[in-house]
Copies of this chain bind each other. A is one copy, B any other.
Amino acid sequence: MLNLNKQVKIKQLPVGIPKENDFYIEENKIPDLQEGFFLAKSQILSLDPYVRAVMSGRHFYNAPQSGSVMRSRGVAKIIDSRHPDYNKDDLVVMETGMQEYCVSNGDDAYFADTGDAPLSTALGVLGMPGLTSYAALLGPASIKKDDVVLVSAASGAVGSMVSQIAKIKGGKTIGIAGSDEKCSWCLENARFDFCINRKKDNLDEVLSEIAPNGVDIFFDNTGGEIQHTVLTKHIADYSRIIISGLMTQYNVSEAPPGPNLGNIVKMKATIYGFVVYDFEHMREKFINDVKGWYADGLINFKEDITSGIETAPSQFIKLMNGNNFGKTLVDVTN
């Protein structure tokens, strides 16, 4: 009755930026459903930069091996259940993996709840990227009115939510993005007050001009040169620095040096190694707040979506090259 389960598997752990032939597609039988589990059909898969860090063993999740199904979070619809809390047709957000069908005992799942917003936002503004932005700003970064907030990878799923939430909280926001097109979107849709094109503008000079007293919050999604310039020259007194992503180094085999920490002491700044999984206790309030803001027209988002499980490897590679524009997704409903 059921189809086979099409899965994206790892052929070999990539060196540098992943290539198409680091992955392969395999069709396997859908496992029998055990008592206490449910079976779900993937609807939308989320491609996330941190997965590359997992593949290098630089994340607290264990590194996958050759033959592992690629890690992916997704929205899935339950098609059969032997679990008391989950019923047929329930929509859940879970660790689907890059595959069409998945089973779970519910430990890694929660019900998708997106209010007036489309289902895909359960993986974006109302999902992990949204919670990352929300929990970091309201948690360790303690955003307050008039804070100057700088964010790298500004047009991404996390970056654009950082700006929109920061603006709601009365901050001023500066984005750093990789093209004029991305910058325009940031200014027009994600409420950024300013956007720096890292490929064209001189970050150091522009920041000196537009944030002469430094930034109160730096939300770093990239690491590398941007992190170096900001941390050594452009942080304000008592600056809060959220290291959330390190996109520039996910694809290199040896981690490059970091910024000298002298300026951190001089400015009495704090650097938080931020991992969203520690902020599950904020999820309920986050969902309610963002659903409300969305209904009020305060939340925009952009999606970079393709169709079909076979497109997942190339979407992931595009994300790794920074050529995505918006939250990178794969529609696997059909």
Chain A interfacial positions (CB closer than 8 Å to B): 53, 58-60, 140, 223, 227, 232, 243-244, 246, 249, 255-275, 278
Q: How far is the CA of A268 from the CA of B268 in the complex (A)?
A: 20
**CB-based contact B274/A272 at 8 Å:** no
Q: How far is the CA of A256 from the CA of B228 in the complex (A)?
A: 12
A249 surroundings in chain B (CB, below 8 A): 260, 262
Q: How far is the CA of A79 from the CA of B155 in the complex (A)?
A: 65
Q: Quickly give the copy total for this chain.
A: 2
Question: Told that A244-B265, A257-B258, A271-B271 touch, could you supply 20 new A-B pairs with CB distance under 8 A?
Answer: A53-B262, A60-B266, A60-B267, A243-B264, A243-B265, A256-B260, A257-B259, A257-B260, A258-B260, A258-B261, A261-B271, A263-B273, A264-B271, A264-B273, A265-B274, A268-B273, A268-B274, A268-B278, A270-B270, A270-B273
A87 shortest CB reach to chain B, Å: 35
**CB-based contact B266/A59 at 8 Å:** yes
| 20 A-B contact pairs sorted by A residue (CB < 8 Å) | A53-B262, A60-B266, A60-B267, A223-B261, A246-B261, A249-B260, A249-B262, A255-B262, A257-B259, A257-B260, A258-B260, A261-B273, A263-B273, A264-B273, A267-B273, A268-B273, A268-B275, A270-B271, A270-B272, A271-B271
Q: How far is the CA of A58 from the CA of B24 in the complex (A)?
A: 53
Q: How far is the CA of A265 from the CA of B53 in the complex (A)?
A: 11
A258 surroundings in chain B (CB, below 8 A): 257-261
A206 shortest CB reach to chain B, Å: 23
**CB-based contact B58/A261 at 8 Å:** no
A251 shortest CB reach to chain B, Å: 13
CB-based nearest B residue for A227: B261
